[in-house]
Amino acid sequence: MREQGLVGIEDYLDYSKHIRKQSEHTINAYKRDLDAASQWFADQELNDFTIGHRDLRAYLAFCTNRGLSPRTINRRFSALRSYSRYWVRVRGRAKAGLDAAVGLIRSIRTKKRLPEFLFPKEMETLLSENPAAESRGTQPPWMQSRDNALWEIMYSTGCRVSETAAMTLGSFNSGTSRMKVLGKGQKQRFVFLGQPARAALEEYLVYRRAFLRRMRVDHDYLWVNNHGNPLSVRGIQYLLEKRLQGMNVQKHLSPHGIRHSFATHILNNGADIRVVQELLGHKNLSTTQVYTHLNLNRLRDTYNQAHPHGQRRERKDHGKT
């Protein structure tokens, strides 16, 4: 009797990690989504070879009834498609039932969500030496220096939070204004540091060296926590949450929002979209084009504020509420 559920998940994840060079974040997301699907199929006494179109429709209904968002459901089915393709294209073995059925399930339409970002003045506050000093309490100087350098680097380079956490001493050459980062799929690209970012980083490196010597810790990771260990993605998220609380910014901003701010600001200042694509490390131009929507919204708001007809339409709209 065959094992129930999806029985080839570990093989697929191993391939994704070591051959496709996908990030730890992506691997963990695939694992969560596939494990959840596998458990449901096992409860229905189904496996890769017996799953049919009706079963996938039933799983879709189950996800919907649980209140999962369309984006989450789409992500789960995307993981199933990727898992199925691996067995067909790489292993040459179709998971008969699943392979035939999964392609028939279409993605749910979702409303396009514009990325959250900070306006330039908000970003200036984030990057200032000591926003809301009272909220930072007795934070030691090395930690203040680290945080200042961290936000400067993220805003100057537009790096993903995972790329930032993975930076090492070898990523930065003090004789140049560029850094080397490893992006998705282990693809290398160069990003650039403005003068404030370079100055903040060089100051932090002095503090970092002394702190690690005191902690008797030795490694090459650029960013460190209060134990001297490498700063994790979650650690960076936590630091940003605390920083925003001190600023009293009413936005649910993740570290990715700094990347969004970088892209939005340089596009608004006239950067070519293909240059921005390269700086962000996007494989497809369509991924970068979401930031042009932010520009269009800015143009629309400017029109509504400045054009007499735009102002008149706004007043009428207010009158209807």
What is the DSSP track for 155-214?
A: HHH---HHHHHT-BGGGB-TTSSEEEEE-GGG-EEEEE--HHHHHHHHHHHHHHHHHHHH
Q: Is 291 a catalytic residue?
A: yes
Whether residue 242 lies in the annotated active site: no
Q: Is 259 in the active site? A: yes
Phi first, then psi, for residue 80 (nearest 5°) are -65, -40
Catalytic residue among 146, 198, 259, 260: 259
**Tokens read off for 53:** 């179109």
Residue 250 burial (10 A CB sphere; 0-12, 13-18, 19+):
exposed
- Catalytic site residue 243? no
DSSP 92: -
The one catalytic residue among 76, 95, 146, 160: 160
Report CA torsion sign: 55, 56, 58, 63: positive
The residue type at 303: Y
The residues near 11 (Cβ < 8 Å, ≥ 6 apart) are 86, 91
By annotation, the residues acting in catalysis are 160, 184, 256, 259, 282, 291
